[in-house]
Structure 1
Amino acid sequence: MDVKLGLCVLVSLVLLVAYGTEARDMAEGNSQSPTRLFLYKNGGKEPKENEHMAEGNSQSLTRLYVRYKYGGEEPKENEHMAQGIFFLVDDLKLGKTLTHSFPTMDLPSSLQMLPKKVPFSLKELPNHVKHFSFSNDSPQAKSMEETLRLCEDSPMKGETKYCATSIEAMRHFVQGILGENTQIEPLITMTTTTSTDPLNHNRLQNYTILNDPEDIGATKMVACHTMPSVYYCHHTISKSKVLKVSLRNDANGDKIEAIAVCHLDTSDWNPSHLSFRVLGILPGTSPICHFFPSSNDLVWIPKSVASL
């Protein structure tokens, strides 16, 4: 399942990039829009055993990803999640075991979508909530409000960010960052299930690194994280490294081809953020890395780099 979904997303995005507007309907028909992801993660049916981890791995983890550089005090209960998110570049070694989660999603085939003409903004929140028939105090409405606030927050120094409500809008933003005449390509994390006893990868589990990580060699990249109703895309001028890491689940042998980003300069990050607390370091003292755990999270790079 995971390979099929990952390939579907990847092929759809490549088609969109290669053929532009002409392929838009194909791509949007085969890949999952941010709105579909939002409805699944907030209103779809989850297996009972996934309920206590669903919020932690689909939304809260993504919020931690996009908030880590802005800082601010995180609730104490988020520390255990951060321990499964952030790691040091020295941890990426052959044979090293990491505790992590790689959330997977079986997405419903037919779901409501926001009208493309409706601006996704905080002032339109009541209309968005009404469109989905959510109550104003529902978890879904609160998740959407938090996403909107993150989208409308001022970027940090040296950062350009954008919340895209469609794949086409995301592509235009990425193209503008990487160059209008540059062919672009998305990298995603993919899972290969080899066991007849599949595990719930939403849970924190042990994964062993199978090979020395591969440095993609991209000097410029745009990261796009799935959040309720949007892709949260951002680019920073600070140095970072994109890596491809092969891992094996210690419990059943499932293999993960994971995309990781290591931020080489953390001197501008808020020193109060829990990433420094759980790693026991200070801003600017060591690179901080994290995986893009879901096949719906994207790292865009120039295609010439990806083909090397």
Structure 2
Amino acid sequence: MVGFAKAALGGTTLLALTSKNTRGSDSEMVIGKMKQYRATKIVACHEAFLPFAAYFCHSLSSTRLYAVEVVDPKAEQRLTHMLAICHMDTSAWPKNHVAFEILKFGPGEGEACHWFTQLDLAWIGNESE
């Protein structure tokens, strides 16, 4: 995983990021502070659900990566922080991609954003922070 990230990002100093906690809540939550990472290229690794530890990693461009604070508005306190990634160019995605069904648009008509779980990793160059 590290070797692939280094090769894909072209550097030796990498930063691995993940969501702190993705437990649900029975209460309303709001987005607090957001930090956008300056990375122009990202390697995303997602756990493959197999009987042994395995990850599917891929290199992404045309994406934006954010650290997002999740806040309890009543208690006015941070519950957790999560990573969100936005795919800014969906024009090369297949027309039947599940994201288009959910977002109600087609390839190239908008960006697709989603959360990273605690089991997902985003690798960026350390200078991108």
Q: TM-score when scaled to structure 2?
A: 0.83
Moved >3 Å (runs of 4+)? 202-206, 249-254
Distance 1:207 1:290 in 2: 17
From 179, 189, 213, the counterpart of 2:19: 189
Tell me, in whole angstroms, the C-alpha distance in 2 between the residues paired with 1:277 and 1:205: 27
Give the Cα–Cα distance (whole angstroms) in 1 for the partners of residues 120 and 73 of structure 2.
24
What aligned pairs does 1:278-289 form with structure 2 within 5 A after superposition?
Answer: 278-289=102-113
Displacement of 1:171 = 0.7
Tell me the SS of whatever aligns to 1:190.
coil
Equivalent-residue separation in structure 2 for 1:203 and 1:231 (angstroms): 28
| Deviation of 1:272 (Å) | 1.6
Q: Which amino acid aligns with 2:96?
A: S
Q: In the TM superposition, what are the counterparts of 1:241-252 in structure 2 within 5 Å? A: 241-249=64-72
Amino acid at match of 2:38: G
**Matched-pair identity in %:** 30
Match of 1:259 in 2: 83
Q: Secondary structure at the match of 1:210?
A: strand
What corresponds to 1:230 in structure 2?
A: 54
| Higher-RCO chain (CA-CA 8 Å, sequence separation at least 6) | 2
**Aligned to 2:98, which of 265, 274, 284?**
274
Does the aligned pair in 1 maintain the 2:83–2:115 contact within 8 Å? yes
Which has more strand, going by share of residues? 2
Would you tell me which structure has more helix in proportion to its own residues?
1
Aligned pairs for 1:42-81 (under 5 A) are none
User: Which residue is equivalent to 2:5?
Assistant: 174
Q: Distance in 2 between matches of 1:248 and 1:257?
A: 9
Change (3 A) 1:276 1:300: same
Question: For the structure 1 residues 254 and 201, does the alpha-carbon distance in structure 2 shift closer, same or farther, using more than 3 Å as the test?
Answer: farther
TM-score (norm 1): 0.37
Task: Quote the Cα distance in structure 2 between the aligned partners of 1:269 and 1:251.
Answer: 40
How many residue pairs are counted as aligned between the two chains?
A: 125
Counterpart code for 2:32: L
Higher Cα Rg: structure 1 or 2? 1
Structure 2: give runs of 5+ residues left out of the alignment: none
Gaps of 5+ in 1: 1-169, 192-199
